Structure 1
Amino acid sequence: MNRIALATTRDLVELDADDEALLAALPEASLAAWEDDGDWAAYDLVVLRSPWNYIDRLDDFLAWAERVSRVTRLANPLEVVRWNTDKRYLGQLAAAGVPVVPSVFVAPGEQVPDAAVTGHVVVKPTVGNGSNGALLVRDSPEAALAHVEELHALGRSALVQPYLEQVDTHGERALVFLGGELSHAATKGAILSRAVTRSTGVYADEQITAATASDAEREVAEQVLRAAAEILPAARDLLYARVDLLPTAEGPVLLELELTEPSLFLTYADGAPERTAAAIRALAAAPA
């Protein structure tokens, strides 16, 4: 039997629901915190699952992922993790023709175009997850610019996007793919337009419901994955992917492509933990 590690973090105050469901379906696996000095070579496969504090220690996390990749198989692959942990990948996908929420990237020392902070906008770090560091600003360019400056003061690049109001009524659709095949979908309620709570201490609490992806959503999600594979050959062979879409009058648009450590909402779809376990077992058993 192959030895499998599900990589998490010591900072989680309680077991994540996805991890709990996956451990039940994959009893040969064990949780291991990425910060620990473990013997990663003892595993046939290390699967990134809930190492969500990496956003504050990205260099350390990527160095750890590189060390793991030298001694065993990492999922998703190191090249994918390097690319996907900075949201500037959205610019590459947009250039490839993917419908993406308009995105302006502002590195420290750069100026924000006036048009980017007009109206209702979201300002967030390019390296972030769980809505950490994200701020919804309504009709206040001054407040938007101030948040950009706060991120810059922390040494972080900023991402500025228009706030698409349809998310308040329709939510955000997440399509989960396993081994390149659509497994299930979920709807995430709007987060930034309501009071944000963090019961885990690591990420914002989400309002999740089971969903069925529409044909249009599935078409865009598959376009996203094809484009990612063209940009980055390592993305042609993914264990998991989550494509987050927002509704617009013209159709779904990409908000984020989650290839590093996404919640997979396994408890919201019948058979999802078992399908995920089967995909992990197949990868662990496959020739390197």
Structure 2
Amino acid sequence: MPDVQANGLRLSYETLGDPADPALLLVMGLGAQLIDWPQEFCEQLAARGFFVIRFDNRDAGLSTIRPEWGVPDVAAIVAGDRSTVPYLLADLAADIAGLLDALGLARVHVVGASMGGMIAQQFTVDHPDRVASLCSIMSTTGRSVGRPTPEAAAVLIRPPAPDRASAVAAAVATARLVGSPGFPAPEEELVRRAEEKYDRRYHPLGTLRQYAAIIASPDRTAALREVTVPTVVVHGAADPLITLSGGEATAAAVPGAELVVLDGMGHDLPRPLWPRIIAAISTNTARAAAH
């Protein structure tokens, strides 16, 4: 898988489709890797006429991991002491700018899921000239809305697994807990995904540092009111990890944003809903073309 130097880091990425087509950048979430965007989902986007780019955020997958980023003290960060925060969501957004520079792309359609939605929002705020359209999926404007259920919140502070079998079992249990109750994924699919992610790279400390970035980053509501690009917000009505109020707040903050609420969807990308999610993305990019 290729990588590029971006914002002083090495970012691993992959592309699908025709480079002559409009570029569509996919940004994944907390502790996620580019493979968390399902291959077939990406292929279907490419078939819609997009040049699809997916990548590993810093501190995840095959992108740069730096020991000097240290171990964040989450309790202290929540209490207001941010001395152990290694980076913010704005830094992850700056990584995107560096990635686009390295790929020679001036402007892209941006799609972000979960923390990736937060990064996509921040990138749109910080680099408005580089965004043709924004799609924020199962995300939020900040920590005051979209709060997780107690059961879902518990998985965010789960201790690292001691071995592969335990890590895979924990990942499957988490996927089942936060996933779509209306569209439960087959057990074998959850196991396959968990094994693939573990074998590519298991890096729970990076997940903790990304979580620290989420907690320490400022609320985006006021900044999102200045966004002028076509925006669609997709959210599951049954999402327990970032509850629906997060999506509602995002759509309310961005002028003219469309909110698409999907019944039965939790905090994942269930295969039966791909047509509706892809349609929402495509329709929003068409608004950008007419913008």
Q: TM-score, normalised by structure 1?
A: 0.38
More helix by share: 2
More strand by share: 1
Bigger Rg over Cα: 1
Q: TM-score, normalised by structure 2?
A: 0.38
